[in-house]
C-alpha cells in the first residue's frame, strides 16, 4: 500500500509537471488575437497545477545538476574549493578519492592506484585524517555542495603485498594469510575457496562467475555473500553517512554480484538530517564497464541505483575525432538510440581517472585535457544535452612517456612533496590552478556550461539543426540554445532558437556583466531566430546562450 501511494504521488507529480509545461508552451505561442478570457483560463489552470506540482518538489533550492571528481585532492583543499568556487558556480557535489587506509606502495613511487588497495576502513589517507574529512564534509554541505565517496569494497590489497605495518596509518596486515585485523577480516572473508581458476585471478572475462568470484588484477577478493562482510562494509559506509556524505561511487561493482550490493545497500542509514530531508537515501552509482557484448551487463545493476555509462565518452570521442565516418549531425539521436543505458540510470562523463590514462574502457577515442580544444567541446556538449547525470573530471599533470600507444608513466601519483605528501592546490591570479593541478572544472568554458545545464534543467530538446556534417545546434525548450562547429569550414547561419526576443551574451566567449556583454552578442529576433557565426579555426568553436544571459 505504501509503495502504491508512493507510485501514485510520482505519477501525479509527473502529470502536473507535463500539464504545466504544455500550458507554458501554449501561452508562449498564443497570438495576441486570442481572447483574454482564454488566456486567463490557461493562467488559472497553470496556477492550480502549479500548486499540485509543488507538493512533490523535493528540493526548492537552486537547481544544481553536475558533480566534479577532484581526483586525489586533499580534504582541506576540497573544503576551500566548495566555499570559494563550487558553490558560487552551481556545482552539485564532489566525488572524492577513497578516504580509507590503503597500502603504501613505494615502487613505483607512490602511484595513484595505491588508493585502491585497502588495508582498513579507518578514515586515514594521503588526502587527510578523519578530523579533516569531517571538516570537509561539514563545510561543503553548509554551502550546498555534497560529498560522494569512492567506496572500494570489492577487495583489499594485492595478494603479493606481503605483510607488516604498511598501511598509510600504520595498520598491520598479512595479504598472504588474508589477515586484516584492523577491519577485521580473516581468510574466511575472501573468495579463494570458490574461485575456480588455476591462478586465482580472473582469466576469462566471458565467464561472469570468474568476473565476480576471482581476483581482479591480483587484488584479494572479498566474499560479499557473507553476512559479516556485508555488515563491516555497511558499518564503514554508515560511518561516513553519519558524518554527512551524500552517496557513493561503488568501485569495481562489475566484480561484485548485484544481489550482494543490494544486500549491503539495504543496511545503509538514511542521510544525516542536519543537511538532508528526513528519510533521504544515499545516492548510489556503480562502476560497471560494459561496452556491449560482455558477460556482465550494466542492466543487472539498475535495481541498486545509477550506473557509470562508459560507452558515452568512447562514442562521443569517436564522433568529435571524426573517426569511422562519424559526424556530429548523427548526435541528433544521441542517447538510448546509441545503445546507451536509460538516461535516468546513467552517470556520464567524457573521461575518468582510469581511461584518461589508458585503463578501464574507451581506448584511444577518449578525449582528455591533453587535447583541450576537442575536450572543451565534448564536455560542453555533455553539459548542454539532457541525457544522463553528469560528472566532470578534474585532473593533475604527469610527464607522459608514450611508446606504441602505451603511456609508461600512467602510474604517476598526484603532485607530491619529497616525503610523499600531496601538494596543496594553489590558485593562480587568473583562476587556474598551480602546483601541476590541471583543474578542468575551473576552465571558463566548462564552468559556464555547468551554469547552462542548471538553467535549462528539465527542458527537452525542441529544436535541432545540423548541416548534415559537423555543425549542429539545438534548443532546450525556451531556456537555452547552443551551436557547435566541428567542421573544416566556417559556420554562418540564421537558426531558430525558440528564445524570447532580445540581446543575449554568449557565455563561451564572455559573459553578461550588468547591461553589457564581455564577449559575442547574439540578437534574437521577434520570430525567435538569430544569426550565428563561428570560425572553424576558433579556439572554442561553439556558442551558448540562455535566458539568464539576456540583457
**Residues designated as active site:** 251, 287
The Cα 281–Cα 302 span in angstroms is 16
SS (H, E, C) 385-435: CCCCEEEEEECECCCCCEECCEECCCCCCCCECCCCCECCCCECCCCCECC
- 400 Cβ contact partners less than 8 Å away, ≥ 6 residues apart: 370, 407, 409
Q: Which of helix, strand or coil describes residue 299?
A: helix
Grid cell, residue 238, equals 554508515
Pairing of strands 66-70, 389-394: parallel
CA nearest 70: which of 352, 308, 346, 378?
Answer: 352
How many other β-carbons are positioned within 10 Å of the β-carbon of residue 165? 11
Ramachandran class of 431: left when φ > 0, alpha when ψ lies in -120 to 50, beta otherwise: left
The Cα 435–Cα 456 span in angstroms is 35
With cell 544544481, the residue in question is 64
Grid cell, residue 351, equals 573521461
The Cα 475–Cα 39 span in angstroms is 25
Q: Cβ(169)–Cβ(116) under 8 Å?
A: no
Farthest-apart Cα atoms in the chain, separation = 84
The helix (run of H) or strand (run of E) holding residue 67 is strand 66-70
How many other β-carbons are positioned within 10 Å of the β-carbon of residue 168? 20
Amino acid at each position: 500500500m505504501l509503495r502504491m501511494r508512493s507510485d501514485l504521488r510520482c505519477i501525479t507529480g509527473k502529470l502536473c509537471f507535463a500539464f504545466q509545461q504544455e500550458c507554458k508552451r501554449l501561452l508562449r505561442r498564443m497570438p495576441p488575437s486570442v481572447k483574454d478570457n482564454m488566456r486567463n483560463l490557461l493562467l488559472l489552470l497553470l496556477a492550480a497545477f502549479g500548486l499540485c506540482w509543488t507538493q512533490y518538489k523535493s528540493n526548492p533550492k537552486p537547481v544544481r545538476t553536475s558533480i566534479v571528481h577532484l581526483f586525489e585532492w586533499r580534504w582541506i583543499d576540497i573544503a576551500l574549493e566548495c566555499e570559494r568556487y563550487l558553490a558560487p558556480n552551481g556545482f552539485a557535489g564532489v566525488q572524492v578519492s577513497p578516504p580509507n587506509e590503503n597500502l603504501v606502495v613505494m615502487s613505483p613511487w607512490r602511484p595513484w592506484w595505491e588508493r585502491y588497495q585497502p588495508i582498513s576502513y579507518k578514515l586515514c589517507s594521503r588526502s587527510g585524517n578523519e578530523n579533516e574529512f569531517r571538516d570537509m564534509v561539514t563545510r561543503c554541505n553548509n554551502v550546498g555542495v555534497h560529498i560522494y565517496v569512492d567506496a572500494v569494497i570489492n577487495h583489499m590489497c594485492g595478494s603479493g603485498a606481503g605483510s607488516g605495518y604498511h598501511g598509510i596509518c600504520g595498520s598491520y596486515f598479512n595479504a598472504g594469510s588474508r589477515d586484516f585485523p584492523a577491519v577485521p577480516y580473516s581468510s574466511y572473508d575472501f573468495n579463494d575457496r570458490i574461485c575456480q581458476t588455476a591462478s586465482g585471478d580472473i582469466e576469462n572475462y566471458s565467464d561472469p562467475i570468474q568476473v565476480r568470484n576471482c581476483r581482479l588484477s591480483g587484488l584479494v577478493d572479498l566474499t560479499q555473500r557473507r553476512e559479516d562482510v556485508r555488515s563491516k562494509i555497511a558499518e564503514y559506509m554508515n560511518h561516513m553517512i553519519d558524518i554527512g556524505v551524500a552517496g557513493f561511487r561503488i568501485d569495481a561493482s562489475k566484480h561484485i554480484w548485484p544481489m550482494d550490493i543490494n544486500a549491503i545497500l539495504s543496511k545503509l542509514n538514511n542521510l544525516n538530517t542536519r543537511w538532508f530531508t528526513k528519510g533521504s537515501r544515499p545516492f548510489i552509482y556503480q562502476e560497471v564497464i560494459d561496452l556491449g557484448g560482455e558477460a556482465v551487463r550494466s542492466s543487472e545493476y539498475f535495481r541498486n541505483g545509477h550506473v557509470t555509462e562508459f560507452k558515452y565518452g568512447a562514442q562521443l570521442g569517436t564522433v568529435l575525432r571524426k573517426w569511422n565516418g562519424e559526424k556530429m549531425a548523427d548526435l541528433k539521436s544521441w542517447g538510448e538510440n546509441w545503445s546507451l543505458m536509460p538516461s535516468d540510470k546513467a552517470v556520464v562523463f567524457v573521461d575518468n581517472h582510469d581511461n584518461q590514462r589508458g585503463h578501464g574502457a574507451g581506448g584511444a577515442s577518449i578525449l582528455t585535457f591533453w587535447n583541450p580544444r576537442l575536450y572543451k567541446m565534448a564536455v560542453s556538449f555533455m553539459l548542454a544535452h539532457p541525457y544522463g547525470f553528469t560528472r566532470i573530471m578534474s585532473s593533475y599533470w604527469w610527464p607522459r612517456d608514450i611508446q606504441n600507444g602505451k603511456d609508461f608513466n600512467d602510474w604517476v601519483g598526484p603532485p607530491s612533496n619529497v616525503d610523499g605528501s600531496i601538494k596543496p592546490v594553489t590558485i593562480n591570479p587568473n583562476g587556474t590552478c598551480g602546483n601541476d593541478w590541471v583543474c578542468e572544472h575551473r576552465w571558463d568554458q566548462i564552468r559556464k556550461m555547468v551554469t547552462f545545464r542548471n538553467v535549462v534543467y528539465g527542458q527537452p530538446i525542441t529544436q535541432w539543426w545540423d548541416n548534415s556534417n559537423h555543425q549542429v545546434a539545438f534548443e532546450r525548450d525556451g531556456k537555452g540554445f547552443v551551436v557547435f562547429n566541428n567542421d573544416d569550414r566556417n559556420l554562418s547561419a540564421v537558426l531558430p532558437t525558440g528564445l524570447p526576443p532580445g540581446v543575449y551574451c554568449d557565455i563561451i566567449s564572455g559573459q553578461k556583466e550588468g547591461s553589457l556583454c564581455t564577449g559575442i552578442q547574439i540578437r534574437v529576433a521577434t520570430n525567435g531566430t538569430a544569426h550565428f557565426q563561428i570560425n572553424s579555426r576558433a579556439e572554442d568553436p561553439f556558442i551558448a546562450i540562455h535566458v539568464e544571459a539576456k540583457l
